[in-house]
Chains A and B, each alone.
Chain A
Amino acid sequence: MMSERILVTGMGIISGLGYGKQATLDALCSKHSGIGKMKYLQTIHNYYPVSEVPMSDAEMMDSLGISSQTIITRTPLLGIMALKEAFIEAYLDKERPRRIAFINGTTVGGMEKSEQYYPDFQNTEAYIAAHDCGTSCEAIAEYFDGFDMITTISTACSSAANAIILGANLLKTGRVDVAIVGGTECLSKFHLNGFSTLMILDKEACKPFDAKRVGLNLGEGAAYLVLEKEQHAKQRGVQPICILSGYANTCDAYHQTASSPDGQGAYLAMHNALEDAHLHPHDIDYINAHGTGTQNNDLSEGTAIMRVFNDNIPPVSSTKSFTGHTTSAAGSVESIISILALLHNFIPANLNFNNPMPELSFCPVKDTLTKKMQHVLTNSFGFGGNDSACIFSKID
C-alpha cells in the first residue's frame, strides 16, 4: 500500500533578495542578486561581499509588532518574519491543528549579539543569555504561541534540509499532524572570520561551477515550509503547493570540512533521494545545486552529479549566486526557490559563470530559462560530511 503523500502547504522566506516569495521570485527572474557591500554587520573584514537581509533588527521588530524593549536577537527575528508568511499561507493562523512540530535549523543562534555586547557584559547579560541555538528556536515558537514539539537541528549547512527530512519522518510515523520545518541564520563576525580563515571566501561575487571560482559569499536569511499529509491538508481545506516526493541524508565520511574527490556522500544523497521518490535520474527537470563556489565543493558535487545522471544531466544552477550561502538556512531557502522555479516553470540563472570547469561534462545554466517542469532536486551539504538531497514535485 502506497503511504500517503507529504505535501507542502505553506512557505515563507526572507533573504538578501527581500521579504517574501514574490520579492524572491522577482529578483530571480530579473537576475537581481542580493550580494553586495556589507551594510549591517560591523567588522573590519567589510571588503567581503555578502547577502544581507535589507532590514535592520529595529525595522523587523516594528513590522512584527515586537516592542523595542524586548531582548531578541537577529536570527529569530529573521525566523519569525519568514514563518509568518508560511503560517498565513497554510491557514495556521485560522485554526490550529492538534499536533504541530517546529523543527528549526540554526548554528549561529544569538552569536551576533553576544559578540557585540560581550565587552559590556554587566549591562547586556540578557543578550548573552539569548546566545544558544535553542533560544532562537524558542523565541520564534513563543511569537506563535508555542508548538507541541520543538527542536533545533545544528548540522551546519545542511541543517534546514535535515529539518525538512525530520519533519517528513515525523509525519510518516504519525507522531505529528503538521511539521513546520526550515532554518534561520544571520551574519556574525564569528563565522565570517571562520570562513575567512579557511580561505574559502571570495572577495568578489562568487562564481559557482566556474573554473576560476575562488570561494563563497556568506548570506543571511530564513525560510520555512509547512508540511502535512494529503488527507490532513484536505480536511483543513488548505491549498497544497507541491509534493515532497523524496529525500535522503548520507555521510561523506571523508574529512571534517572538505568533500571527497569522487563526491561519494553527495552521490549517495542524490541516488537515495531518487530511490525514495521512486524516480529515475531522467525524471529530474532541474537541480538546484549546493554550489557554494568553492574549489572543493563544486568539483565534488559536479562529479557526483555526473555519476548519478551520466549522459542525461538536467539543467543545473546554484542560486547561492543570488542569496549567498545562508548556511543553516540554505536547505529551506533553496527548497523554496526550487519550488518557485517548479511552479513558475523557469530555471534560475547561475550568475557570474563564464569559464567551464574542465573536469565536468556540463555547465550550469547561465541565463534564466523557461522550462515546464515536474520534478526538481535540491542539494545541501554541510561540514562533517553531512549531505542531504530533497525532491519536490508538482501535484498532478
Chain B
Amino acid sequence: MDALILELKKEIIEVLNLEEITPEDIDENAPLFGEGLGLDSIDALELIVLMEKNYGIKLNNASEGRDIFKSVRIMAEYIEKHRTK
C-alpha cells in the first residue's frame, strides 16, 4: 500500500502539473480538493483519466470521482480493490 501511495503521489504531481510540490509535501490523509493542493474540477477529470490509463478503472461520471478522490489514501485503497492493470 505504501508503495502505491508514493507512486500515486508522483503521478498526481506529474499529471496535474504541480510543479512546486514534492511527494513529501502531500499528506496522504488530507483532502485533495478544497484546501491544501487547491485542485479544481478539471483536475478531477484528469484524475479520472489517470485511473483508466494507469489502473484500468473506468468511472462513468464526475460525481463518482468525488468520493474516491477524498484523499490519496482513499484513492489508493480504491485502486487496490478495483485495478485491472
Chain A residues in the interface with B (C-beta under 8 A) = 197-199, 255-258
Contact = CB atoms under 8 A, between A and B. Distances in A.
B5 to A, nearest CB: 26
A199 B62 contact: yes
Q: Give the top 5 A-B pairs by smallest Cβ distance, nearest first.
A: A199-B62, A258-B41, A199-B61, A199-B45, A198-B45
Contact of B40 (A197, A198, A199, A255): A255
Nearest to A200: B62
5 contacts: A197-B45, A197-B49, A198-B42, A199-B48, A258-B41
Nearest to A199: B62
Contacts of A255: 40-41
Contact of A256 (B42, B48, B61, B62): B42
Interface of B is mostly: helix
Contact of A257 (B42, B48, B49): B42
Nearest to A215: B61
Q: Which of A198, A199, A255 has the most CB of B within 10 A?
A: A199
Contacts of A198: 42, 45
Contacts of A197: 45, 49
B83 to A, nearest CB: 21
Contacts of B61: 199
Contacts of A258: 40-41
Q: Which of B41, B48, B49 has the most CB of A within 10 A?
A: B41
A258 B40 CA distance: 10
A197 B62 CA distance: 10
Nearest to A257: B42
Contacts of A199: 45, 48, 61-62
Interface string B27-64: 00000000000001110010011000000000001100
Given A197-B49, A257-B41, A258-B41, 12 more contacts: A197-B45, A198-B42, A198-B45, A199-B45, A199-B48, A199-B61, A199-B62, A255-B40, A255-B41, A256-B42, A257-B42, A258-B40
